[in-house]
Amino acid sequence: MQTVRWVIERDQAAADHPAVLRAAQVIRLGGLVAFPTETVYGLGANALDARAVAGIYRAKQRPLNDPLIVHVASPADVEALADLSGLRERAQALIARFWPGPLTLVLPRRPALPALVSAGLDTVAVRMPNHPVALALIRASGVPLAAPSANRFGHVSPTTAQHVLDDLDGHIDAVLDGGPTTIGVESTVLDLTCDPPRILRPGGVTREQLQAILPGVLPIAPVVAAAGQAMPSPGTSPVHYAPRARLIICRDTGELLRRREACLAQGRSVGLLLRADQRAACQACHPYFMLGDGLDEVARNLYAGLRALDALGVDDILVTAVPREGLGEAIADRLARAAAKTQD
């Protein structure tokens, strides 16, 4: 299969833009189109078409027990996918505050939605992305889009169209290239079907922000799936978000420099993921990738950094831990999972 790349400026995005119209036609015919959201690129298919949804799992080599997020272009579209009775007030308060945006709500699934979207669970994960290209594509398609991150299963999520092609070229119909994503880590997944609601995956909306609306929200808990069963949120499994290289998380810059020397002494090649304030102390260390300053920039650049150092073929990637506060919770979560995978 030939994968087409359509470039579209985010401020040109509209449901009647030629690239969006062509992409929407592919979706309506049951094809697969990758598109930008504010978090990471998604791999979209018509959520109401079980065959199209099956194509997503195939292209990503994603296990069938790993449910997908359904993307909508308006809060009103949730009602057709999920049964809000009993939790309407909570859902609406969260939607009013955070949509469009990086919050995914896990809700009771309406039976009309193909079970494959939810990997057979009786719930469905829904979000309204805050990106003009994503919203234009959903509107032009006229259907909700099932869309996981547009990477090979288990790999680092894509934050540019080139990342998507690096993983999926030849396996999907098209990618809408709307430039790099702005948040850089995935949405927060919040389970509203339990009481109190529980965070299944930390992401772009922070725990502190959620607790300001719903004070009882529970932080993430470890998830274990029985063989063959759908996992409540398999993004919480350590096989996710992993680069090829070994990732080592250090407490501070001093430890980072010591570990680097130790790895080099073993004949291993080392790349560093650095924050701006570490540059002076690490001036002589190459290669490195600059994550920038502050948690927003670190989140935005993290996956590009992991991919860039991986592409250089380093054996080890060293990075300093971030505080588990605000967006730091999502960053620390992804770093820990990437490190866990490679220590197996």
**What is the binding site for ligand TXA (CB under 6 A)?**
37, 39-40, 42, 66-69, 102, 104, 106, 118, 121, 123-125, 129, 147-149, 186-187, 189, 200-201, 232-235
62 versus 246: smaller Cβ distance to ligand TXA: 62
Phi, psi of 225 (to 5 degrees): -100, 135
Tell me how far, at minimum, the Cβ of 307 lies from ligand TXA, in Å: 16
234 versus 305: smaller Cβ distance to ligand TXA: 234
Spatial CA neighbour of 59 closest among 177, 168, 174, 173? 168
Q: Which of the stretches 114-122, 143-151, 309-317, 327-335 binds Mg ion when contact is defined by CB under 5 A? A: 143-151
Contact of residue 319 among ligand TXA, Mg ion, none (CB under 5-8 Å per partner type): none
Contact of residue 234 among Mg ion, ligand TXA, none (CB under 5-8 Å per partner type): ligand TXA
Sequence-ordered list of residues with C-beta below 8 angstroms from that of 224, at least 6 positions apart, any chain:
none
Contact of residue 106 among Mg ion, ligand TXA, none (CB under 5-8 Å per partner type): ligand TXA
Tell me how far, at minimum, the Cβ of 41 lies from ligand TXA, in Å: 7
Tell me how far, at minimum, the Cβ of 14 lies from Mg ion, in Å: 28
Tell me how far, at minimum, the Cβ of 150 lies from ligand TXA, in Å: 7
Which single residue brings its beta carbon nearest to ligand TXA? 235
46 versus 149: smaller Cβ distance to Mg ion: 149
Contact of residue 40 among Mg ion, ligand TXA, none (CB under 5-8 Å per partner type): ligand TXA
214 versus 223: smaller Cβ distance to ligand TXA: 223
114 versus 148: smaller Cβ distance to ligand TXA: 148
140 versus 164: smaller Cβ distance to Mg ion: 164
Count of positions on this chain that bind Mg ion (CB under 5 A): 1
Pairing outcome for strands 69-71 and 188-191? unpaired
Tell me how far, at minimum, the Cβ of 289 lies from ligand TXA, in Å: 22
50 versus 250: smaller Cβ distance to ligand TXA: 50
147 versus 335: smaller Cβ distance to ligand TXA: 147
Contact of residue 100 among ligand TXA, Mg ion, none (CB under 5-8 Å per partner type): none
Please check whether residue 32 is in contact with residue 175, taking contact to mean a CB–CB distance below 8 angstroms.
Answer: no
178 versus 203: smaller Cβ distance to Mg ion: 203
Contact of residue 91 among ligand TXA, Mg ion, none (CB under 5-8 Å per partner type): none
145-164 binders of Mg ion (CB under 5 A): 149
Phi-psi region of 163 (alpha: psi -120 to 50; beta: other; left: phi over 0): alpha
275-304 binders of Mg ion (CB under 5 A): none
Query: How crowded is residue 61: how many other Cβ atoms within 10 Å of its Cβ?
Result: 11
Please check whether residue 206 is in contact with residue 63, taking contact to mean a CB–CB distance below 8 angstroms.
Answer: no
SS3 assignment for the chain: CCCEEEECCHHHCCCCCHHHHHHHHHHHCCCCEEECCCCCCEEEEECCCHHHHHHHHHHHCCCCCCCCEEECCCHHHHHHCECCCCCHHHHHHHHHHHCCCCEEEEEEECCCCCHHHHCCCCEEEEECCCCHHHHHHHHHHCCCEECCECCCCCECCCCCHHHHHHHHCCCCCEEEECCCCCCCCCCEEEECCCCCCEEEECCCCCHHHHHHHCCCCECCCCCCCCCCCCCCCHHHCCCCCECCCEEEEECCHHHHHHHHHHHHHCCCCEEEEEEHHHCHHHCCCCCEEEEECHHHHHHHHHHHHHHHHHHCCCCEEEEECCCCCCCHHHHHHHHHHHHHHHCC
Tell me how far, at minimum, the Cβ of 216 lies from ligand TXA, in Å: 19
Tell me how far, at minimum, the Cβ of 180 lies from ligand TXA, in Å: 14
Interface residues toward Mg ion, by CB under 5 A: 149
